[in-house]
Amino acid sequence: MAECILIGAPIDAGQKRAGCLMGPSAYRVAGLAQEIQSLGHGLQDWGDLARPELTPSECANPAVHSLSEVIGWTAVLADKVDDALSQGGLPIILGGDHSLALGSVSGAATHARRVDRPLFLLWLDAHSDFHTVMTTKLRYLLSGEEQYNNKTYAFHKARSPWLRFNPIGWTLIFALAMTALGLHAGAGGVRVPMLACLLIAGGVLLFYVSDRFRAPLVPVLAVLAGGICRWRPGLPLQRAAASGLIALALACFPVDYDPRETETQDHLLLATSANALGRYAEALREIDAARAPSRPAVITLRCVVGFNAWLTAISTDEAGWTADCRRAAAWSAIARLQTAHADWRAGHTREAVAGWRKLAQRTGSLQTGALAGLWQAGALDELTAGRVKALLEQGDVLLLGVAASQGDGQAARRLTDLLGASAAAREQAAVARLWGAPGAMRPRRD
């Protein structure tokens, strides 16, 4: 009986979640060696592989990451597996990283080739890791599962009374197209257009690497599917039915993806759109529906939308947007601006002014918001005062609102001319809500 040889592979480079490098230790602590020995097998433990020397490697495919590490670990693991088999042992690789397959299988293949023996591979896994970019793309292309390629359509279809009961989708179009292909494949009059459609489809599959590679295929398949309407007696119905059933089976074959991930993205897109349209209550509902409260993008969006909802008196949750903005300030400039506003409202003038001064050097709405804060705090210097004057002459709405709230009648009239009476009144109300009504600024304390 071959002696079992444990080989620890503390690899953590084949995926993006940390922790796999602790796999060998976890197996040993769990008593794997003792269990093997209790079954009557001999055992050696060769310890963990040493970290390999890395050679810089690059790949044009942006999906490939940590390539140098994976290549290095694969080489040392393959050598160790070859050594174990050469000594007549049965190597057992301890780890958890996807890339273990590369070194373990290639090491066994090297040994089998050297001793001129066939190699048989029995793969038991929840999902196979011996695929390539092309096989992965093909599997996702053919599947009718609602991946992100067409998830947005399915997401809105479920929410729309006009689309909800529309049966047309990728699965149906694909099955009908393959049925028509089986029906007319031998007919001389349609060989050329069908061949052209297949060449286009093949070109898209091979070279259109974007996540939206399915979209250009839909019109091609729709043209092919139209061949069903040209049925006539004598055409091979059995072959057509078999082609359609095979296509249906491929489309119904499940793929490993998390639909919640794509739904989260769709909810956040809707929240962003609603915020841009001023529908802040709707935007907050979409953020909650995304069910991803700890994501940086969600925290930032909740900071922005929550602030806008509070500023327009739709919400009274000042503490909520303040907390979100303070968390998001570590990575978001707009969150830092709104954190400075929150500092001012809390009476922390020094922190607020410091934050505004940094952002006043930026451009666009960040600069305008920071300049408005410095103006209200009486902290404009010569440079920032010049910027305020220039932006007022250009008709900046926020700064005109600040000037109007301070009693500048000319600014109030210009604001009304630009926005209309009702919108100008809302702008001044928002300024007053954030910084206080004229003559009623919050007390400043450090």
Q: What DSSP string describes 13-36? A: -SSSSTTGGGHHHHHHHTTHHHHH
pLDDT at 437: 42
Enter the DSSP assignment of 291: -
Q: Residues 378-423: pLDDT tens digits?
A: 999 999 999 999 999 999 999 999 999 888 999 999 999 999 999 9
Kindly report the CATH class assigned to 4-130. alpha beta
Lateral strand order in the sheet of 90-94: 43-48, 4-8, 90-94
Instruction: Find the helix packing angle between 397-405 and 409-419, rounded to 10°.
Output: 140
Q: Residues with Cβ < 8 Å from 303, sequence gap 6 or more?
A: 321, 324, 325, 327, 328, 332, 334, 335, 338
Query: Residue 5's closest CA among 85, 123, 113?
Result: 85
pLDDT at 171: 81
Q: Which ranges of the chain have pLDDT less than 50?
A: 149, 209-211, 437-446
Residue 106 token pair: 């290639």
pLDDT at 442: 39
pLDDT at 362: 87
Query: Which residue's entry shows tokens 């600040």?
Result: 402
Count Cβ atoms below 10 Å from residue 184 Cβ, excluding itself: 22
Residue 217 token pair: 């295929």
> Phi, psi at residue 252, to the nearest 5°?
-90, -5
Radius of gyration of the chain (CA): 32
Residue 79 token pair: 């050598």
pLDDT at 46: 92
pLDDT at 12: 84
pLDDT at 340: 94
Q: Give the whole-angstrom CA distance, residue 38 versus residue 81.
A: 24
Q: List Cα–Cα distances, 435 to 150, 333, 345, 390, in angstroms.
A: 45, 20, 7, 22
pLDDT at 170: 77
pLDDT at 7: 93
